Structure formats: C-alpha cells, structure tokens
Amino acid sequence: MIYVDGNGIPLSTLVESAQKSEVKLALETISQVSVEARPLHPKKKAGILVADKGYDAQWLRDKLQERNIRAKIPKRRRKGQRDEPRYNQTIVDYYRTRWIVERTISWFSWYRRILTRWERDDEVYEAFLTIACIMICLKRVLI
C-alpha cells in the first residue's frame, strides 16, 4: 500500500500479506503521514483523499470524516443498478488526478527487487522499498 502527495512523491508505505484487503490498510497507512505545513508545526493529515472504487466503504468514509479528511472515492454500482451513481459525476475533476498514483506505482517497476518479491523476510523487502522511495524522491527533487 502506498500513499502519495499531489506530485507523486511517496509519503508512506505499508507492506502486508496479500490476503488482507487494501481498504482495511488505508487508515493505518494514512496515520503514518505527517505533512509539514510550517516549520515545527506538522500538519498530520491531508485535506482530500482520492482513491479508487476498491475503497468504497461507508466505515472508511466515516473514519476519514472524523479526521476532517474529505474522501473523493467513487461509489460502486449496487446490485441491479444500471446507471453510474450520481455522486461519481460530482467528483470527476478530483478523480482525474488519480493518474499521479498510477504513475508512482509504475516508477517502482524500475527496481527489479520491488517488482518481483524475491525476499521472504518482510523487513528486507521493506528496506528495499524504502530505498526505492528515497531514490524516487531524489529523482523528483533533483529533476
């Protein structure tokens, strides 16, 4: 699981087994982030969270609202519903920025040890993932 800012720079990552659903890991990943608004006063949260339909859960929306984070998550079609929910049309401008996350995920394909998980130990894999995040951040800052 990865959490990025508006420029595609990784802010936090979380490595878990493949059996867990990503929606269950979302709050834990968001909790790791501390966005600095001004020196010595870290802003602990983002203002808006844009995610895909896989994160469409009312409990997640409620938890984000408790943290004063506006969720821009498209709703899934319910059983028997033919048309796209109206809410999805209201967030289309926010959802167009989702490509930034997809681009960041594709940047990890530059690193072979991240692309194919060869390590059995989670700590070793997390170390390589952290190195890849550092290299991505440096490339974004220096270019």
The SS3 of residue 35 is strand
d(CA 91, CA 102): 18
Task: Enter the pTM of the model.
Answer: 0.77
Q: Cα torsion for 45, 46, 49, 54, to the nearest 10°?
A: -40
Short-list 42, 50, 95, CA closest to 69: 50
Looking at residue 91, what is its pLDDT?
85
Q: Quick one: angle between helices 22-31 and 58-66, nearest 10?
A: 10
Q: What sign for the dihedral angle of Cα 113, 31, 71, 8?
A: negative
How do residues 5-59 score in pLDDT, each as one tens digit? 888 888 888 888 777 788 888 888 888 887 677 676 666 667 888 888 888 899 9
